[in-house]
Amino acid sequence: MKKLVKTAAWIGGVVVVIVAVAGSALYVTTQRRLDKKWVVAGHRLAIATDSLALLRGRHLATTISKCGDCHKPDFGGGLFIDAPPVARLYTANLTRGKGGIGGQLSDLDWERAIRHGVKPDGSALLMMPSLEFQNMTDEDTAALIAFLKTLPPVDRQPGKNSVGPIGRALFAKGDLALVTAELINHTAAHPAPVPMGVSVEYGRYIADIGGCKGCHGPGLSGGHIPGTPPEWKLAANITPAGIGHYQEEDFFRALREGKRPGGVPLDSLMPYRFTRNMSDDEIRAVYLYLKTVPPKEFGNR
């Protein structure tokens, strides 16, 4: 009996050591990726400050790219993800108030943050949706920067980011895009201007910079939203296999009222509080684009 107990204790000790070593290795490898400095030249833009540019920038920030969803409606930042086993992340205060970075960034710094996901010192911004914003044209990026530079000051100091063991495991596995700078081709040519209007091309552009693929997946077929708890509702399949029965008026109702064709409310994760402010032409363009997306089975991202 004593021999059995000793054997069990020895096995338990070995397991503890293995877990500790694996945990240490996970921490070291993920921390190395989190701490990596990126050398990104960025792209100098002509920042217009006329009323039309500022209106376009405001529309991009508050409706299309939904900056206020993460950085809060006043753009003063705050707690964004509060799931300690996964991560506790704070978004930056984008204003010139106390704790804000708005007064410290050059135009080039803004561009690198938006389209490349890196800070002025080259360190990575965590969970920054630059994978989507890299598709933003020079004109729209410049308009967005112009608007952000006019934000009223907000005094708010962001907290310290931390990534928990589950978050690190998901990050190591490739299921959590903590560092989007890893996923971007930083030397790729910037997208050509896309004429505004009711067209498939403009609809694709709005969907790309609007973050549709961030939730609905690269193929827009829905499923689990990367980085969210398992109990969260799955993103819908918005390919023709999922919403092919939607008429244009149904699509308008979904984006404006947050309701399905039968009147059933969409999950609150659907950002219709932002999409409701899209113009009629923008909604029609996205509708046209989604009709051209290859049909996929649900979750076949």
Domain residue ranges in the chain: 51-183, 200-292
Mapping DSSP onto H, E and C, the string for 126-168 reads ECCCHHHHCCCCHHHHHHHHHHHCCCCCCCCCCCCCEECHHHH
Sign (positive or negative) of CA dihedral 274, 213, 282, 260: negative
Q: Quote the DSSP letter at residue 239.
A: S
Contact between residue 75 and residue 154 where contact means Cβ atoms under 8 Å apart: yes
* pLDDT in the model for residue 55: 97
* pLDDT in the model for residue 145: 97
Q: Quote the DSSP letter at residue 49.
A: -
Cα separation of 219 and 103, whole Å?
A: 39
CATH of region 200-292: 1.10.760
Contact between residue 149 and residue 102 where contact means Cβ atoms under 8 Å apart: yes
From the list 114, 125, 112, the residue with the least C-alpha distance to 179 is 125
The structure tokens listed for 243 are 């919403």
First to last CA, the chain: 54
Residue by residue, DSSP assigns 105-123 as: --HHHHHHHHHH-B-TTSB
The structure tokens listed for 73 are 């409606």
The residues, ordered by sequence, that sit 6+ positions from 200 with a Cβ below 8 Å of its Cβ are 285, 288, 289, 292
| Number of neighbouring beta carbons within 10 Å of residue 183 | 12
The residues, ordered by sequence, that sit 6+ positions from 128 with a Cβ below 8 Å of its Cβ are 113, 117, 180
| Structure confidence by residue, pLDDT tens digits, 140-183 | 999 999 999 999 999 999 999 999 999 999 999 988 899 999 99
Task: Please count the residues of the chain.
Answer: 301
Long-range contacts of 226-231 (CB under 8 A, 24+ apart): 226/170, 226/175, 226/176, 226/177, 227/81, 227/86, 227/127, 227/167, 227/170, 227/175, 227/176, 227/177, 229/83, 229/86
| Structure confidence by residue, pLDDT tens digits, 196-236 | 999 999 999 999 999 999 889 889 998 888 766 666 788 89
From the list 65, 294, 278, 292, the residue with the least C-alpha distance to 201 is 292
* Residues of the chain where predicted confidence (pLDDT) is lower than 50: 5, 8-10, 12-18
* pLDDT in the model for residue 15: 47
